[in-house]
Amino acid sequence: MEWRTESGESPEGVTRACIAVVEEEILGLFGCNPFLLVDEEMLATLLCRPPHLVKAAVGLLEREGKLKRSHQNTLVGTASLEVEAKS
């Protein structure tokens, strides 16, 4: 299954499975570090993942309410991530 952005574009070689792996890594990172404040580029660097995959995963997580934006457009995990990380 190929991944498509909201505008209907499909970045070359990006599948939903690729995005799902990166989503899990992002959730794990924010779950273990609830006070982490990073932008998508720094997040890609921390995860050693291509920025386009991280941006796609972040977009999905924002729509699901698992990530939100803070000051100066940095990403923060939501309270539900802290609960998931503790269990």
10 Å Cβ neighbour count for 4? 13
Residue-wise pLDDT for 34-75, tens only, equals 888 888 999 999 999 999 999 999 999 999 888 888 877 788
Mind listing the domains of the chain with CATH numbers?
16-86 (1.10.10.10)
Alpha helices (H) along 1-87: 16-32, 40-47, 51-63, 79-86
Query: Is the pTM of the predicted complex or chain greater than 0.85?
Result: no
CB 29 within 8 Å of CB 14: no
CB 4 within 8 Å of CB 10: yes
> Which amino acid is residue 49, in one-letter code?
R
Residue-wise pLDDT for 3-17, tens only, equals 455 544 555 566 788
